[in-house]
Amino acid sequence: MKNTKTILTLLTGAWLATAAYGQVEVTITGSTSFRAITIDRSAALFDPGSLVAVTNDASTGLITYSGTASNAVPSLHNTPVKIRLSFSGSASGMLAVKNQTPVSTAEAPGVNTNKVPDLALTDVFPGSATPPIASSAFDPDVQVGVIPFVYVKNNGLTGIANITREQAVLLMTASGVGGMPATFLGGSSPNPVYMIGRDSGSGTRITVEKDLRFVGTPILWGTNGAGAYVQQNPPGYSSGGLERNVIAAKSDAIGYLGRADLAAISGAASAISYEGVPYSPANVQTGSYALWGYEHIFNRVNGLSANQAAIKTALVNAITDPTFQTSNPLYTVSFEALNLMHVGRGADGGDIFSLDF
């Protein structure tokens, strides 16, 4: 009987050890604007010398990391960890997490496999998606960054230095042939300006339209193979890179961009003030500049195991680390540090409130 008890004890201990050290997998999807940051911060969670990467598409971030993460998540000890990255956009990422829709992930070099995502990075609140997603589908919101946007005009539009909210709303549906002349915005030319923007699934477009409190479908312009303007249907470009290229190439173009996209065309285009306030980190941080939103990370309600939740917490801490957000170019070239914000807002385009009083 004693031997039997001893054997049972050993078997139980072995089972517990296996359970404790079974592999933990987390699949992350969502926002392309935070893609480079999520890739970098995910890799940083792994112990030195343990990281193995499978990269099946570096340009889109189709990457899977494997190794141990005992330094970042001490409770995991030597448990193998696998983080799968597959970026699909803010709204589609939230929907994939909510509906448990599989996304393509890297399994082995040149081989992909579909996995249900656990986490979604998103540039917008769930209620701003089309159609709106109930926030009750997710655990409480965790904000990991602040994303500012700027109105940008081609340098050929001389005299334009500012746009008001009312002008920006009107511009959404009144640019192009027979529409708003540059003089309406303070410019020197009587010819029309052409509004360039993003597609309806873009977090950039959603945030800007919410900040403007614009409701409806904008009229946006693009160019054809010959470089001539064409009205887009459906309106908007699928990336900031495509939008910025048109703004840079056309002397009568205006649009909205993130900071990094503006920097890429700084020789041909420049930012203008919004409501009389120029963009600057300080103006965002104190609430005088209103064109900004949050980067969020979401998971389904009760959708994570304890170990997965621990990895999420470690990732959030790595992204929001003040040193990273104030000194690493991956973050600083495009975003504002959370710890320096003196204001907040409870929804995309919501009223700005103080965090200090």
Per the CB < 8 A criterion, the answer to whether 119 and 26 are in contact is yes
Q: What percent of the chain has pLDDT over 70?
A: 94
Q: Over the stretch 196-239, which tens digit does the pLDDT of each residue have?
A: 999 998 889 999 999 999 999 999 999 999 999 999 999 999 99
Band (6; pLDDT cuts 50, 70, 90): very low
- Looking at residue 248, the DSSP 8-state letter turns out to be H
Total length of the chain: 357
The H helix count followed by the E strand count for the chain is 11, 17
Q: How far apart are CA 357 and CA 355, in angstroms?
A: 6
Cβ pair 144, 295 in contact under 8 A: yes
CA distance 60 to 36: 9
- pLDDT tier, 88 (very low <50, low <70, confident <90, very high otherwise): confident
In the numeric block, which tokens belong to residue 220? 């946006």
Check if the beta carbon of residue 155 is closer than 8 Å to that of residue 254.
no
What's the pTM?
0.90
Domain boundaries, the chain: 2-144+294-354, 148-285
CB neighbourhood size of 155 (10 A): 14
Tell me the β-bridge partners of 145.
295
Place of tokens 């539009």: 157
* Domain 2-144+294-354, second-level architecture: 3-Layer(aba) Sandwich (3.40)
CA 217 to chain centre: 22
Side-chain half-sphere CA neighbours of 105 within 13 A? 22
82 vs 90, which has greater pLDDT? 82
- C-beta of residue 47 within 8 angstroms of C-beta of residue 67: yes
Which CATH number is correct for 148-285, 3.30.1490.270, 3.50.50.60, 1.20.1440.230, 3.40.190.10? 3.40.190.10
Whether 2-144+294-354 and 148-285 share one fold: the answer is yes
